[in-house]
Amino acid sequence: MSSIHSIRFSYVSHLLKFNFDAGTSRGVLREKTTYFIQASCQKFMHVGWGEAAPLVNLSVDDIPDFEEYLKKYCDDLVFEWDSSDHNPTKTVLDWCANFIPAQFPSIRFAFETALLDFVHGGKRLVFDTDFYTSEKPIPINGLIWMGEREFMYEQINEKLANGFTCIKMKIGAIDFEEECKLLEYIRSRFSADQITLRVDANGAFSASEALNKLKRLSEFQLHSIEQPIATGQWKEMAALCQQTPLSIALDEELIGIYGFEQRRQLLDQIKPQYIILKPSLVGGLKDSQEWIRLAEERGIGWWMTSALESNVGLNAIAQFTSTYQGLMHQGLGTGQLFTNNIDSPLVVKNGFISYKKELLWSEIS
């Protein structure tokens, strides 16, 4: 009996609706279209699921004809799976990198996830780690979205009451001094030993004002600031990373940086303290592995963040993250953002995300 089986693909779209107006420095999010990729084979009853979820005005594959490309890849690609393969994960990641261009990172991520789920039996097992098998939790930050001052205070109090010991606050859209007052409010109640504070500027500061603002922010004993200035200013960002009184984490800066050499050059020139990885934005799981390897070789820290995927994509990112040891707080607390998410075994409690196998996945249709 042949061990080679043809796996084919299809997709369905799903409109995710936010629980609230999710404010960033790039605007307010109320809904988001995502696409679920299904990997299937006539000889097997099970299927694998992945998710392609490009972020509007941020993903390189946020293009008007995205769905046409997605359909073409689903129609044209066939994965010839050797069920006797002893290292199917490497085979899957290599195949996706070969057949889906880096310019479609969310599609590549979706195919990687759907295939890994399929070859592991269609049980939503993407990576075989203690996170899935033994419910080992991953520490995560609590995310504070931009909005009116009272709304932000409300979120802060909720996260603190729910046991989060790391809080990330988006800044750059309201008055800077008001944002400082919010940080001061947290610090007046909790020391840096009790609560880790991160901020995310999404590139909102100008290069000329950034250093002064970082000096002001450093008064609140922050862990780090994400992307203080807009992307593409490598010289200015390098100078900022050298002079900064608090650690800088590159986020959007990594998007659209293709290939080993360009990534190496970026890290060597800018020398950030941290990088932040969103697999569906930076080229998928295999490319995220490369970013991590390059960062660790240079003593640069990293953490993983979802890109507002549903629980399908979030599950894949959490399992991928759990393949690494010694994790700091990750940005994986986005599963509760939507009113119509896919029900899953992912549970957020006391500042951790875990996979509770007694809970069931809802059907995708």
> Of the listed 32, 159, 278, 286, which one is catalytic?
278
Alpha carbon distance 199, 344 (integer Å): 29
User: 291 in helix, strand or coil?
Assistant: helix
| DSSP H stretches of helix in 138-202 | 149-161, 176-189
> Of the listed 170, 181, 213, 235, which one is catalytic?
170
Alpha carbon distance 47, 40 (integer Å): 5
The angle formed by the CA atoms of residues 26, 310 and 282, to the nearest 5 degrees, is: 60
Say whether 213 is catalytic: no
Whole-number pLDDT of residue 25: 52
Residues 6+ apart with CB under 8 A from 176: 213, 216
Residues 6+ apart with CB under 8 A from 143: 168, 170, 331, 333, 334
Rounded to 5 degrees, what are φ and ψ at 298?
-105, 5
Question: 10-46 b/e with 16+ CB inside 10 Å = b?
Answer: ebeebebebeeebbbbbeebeebebbbbbbbbeeeee
Alpha carbon distance 200, 58 (integer Å): 15
What are the structural domain ranges in the chain? 4-119, 130-355
Whole-number pLDDT of residue 24: 58
Alpha carbon distance 39, 7 (integer Å): 6
Burial of 160 (0-12, 13-18, 19+ CB in 10 A): middle
Q: Under CATH, which number does the domain 4-119 receive? A: 3.30.390.10
Pick the CATH number of 130-355 from 3.30.70.890, 3.30.530.20, 3.20.20.120, 3.30.200.20: 3.20.20.120
Amino acid type, 231: T
pTM score of the predicted model: 0.95
Amino acid type, 222: L
Dig out the tokens for 40 from the structure. Answer: 């299937």
Asked if residue 133 lies in contact with residue 120, where contact means CB atoms within 8 angstroms, the answer is: no
DSSP state of 251: S
Asked if residue 314 lies in contact with residue 342, where contact means CB atoms within 8 angstroms, the answer is: no
Whole-number pLDDT of residue 241: 98
Dig out the tokens for 204 from the structure. Answer: 């909102």
Q: How far apart are the first and last CA of the chain?
A: 33
- Would the CATH topology of 4-119 be identical to that of 130-355? no
Dig out the tokens for 191 from the structure. Answer: 């020391």
The angle formed by the CA atoms of residues 49, 51 and 55, to the nearest 5 degrees, is: 175
Dig out the tokens for 19 from the structure. Answer: 């629980």
Rounded to 5 degrees, what are φ and ψ at 144?
-105, 115
**Strands (E) located in the chain:** 4-24, 27-40, 48-52, 79-82, 138-139, 142-144, 166-170, 196-200, 224-226, 248-250, 274-277, 301-304, 346-349, 352-355
Residues 6+ apart with CB under 8 A from 193: none
DSSP state of 218: G
One digit per residue, the tens of pLDDT, for the chain of length 365 reads 568 999 999 999 999 998 877 655 556 778 899 999 999 999 999 999 999 999 888 899 999 999 999 999 999 999 999 999 999 999 999 999 999 999 999 999 999 999 999 999 999 999 999 999 999 999 999 988 877 878 888 888 999 999 999 999 988 877 899 899 989 989 998 999 999 999 999 899 999 999 999 999 999 999 999 999 999 999 999 999 999 999 999 999 999 999 999 999 999 999 999 999 999 999 999 999 999 999 999 999 999 999 999 999 999 999 999 999 999 999 998 878 899 999 999 999 999 999 999 999 999 97
Whole-number pLDDT of residue 26: 59
Alpha carbon distance 350, 47 (integer Å): 33
Whole-number pLDDT of residue 2: 67
Say whether 170 is catalytic: yes
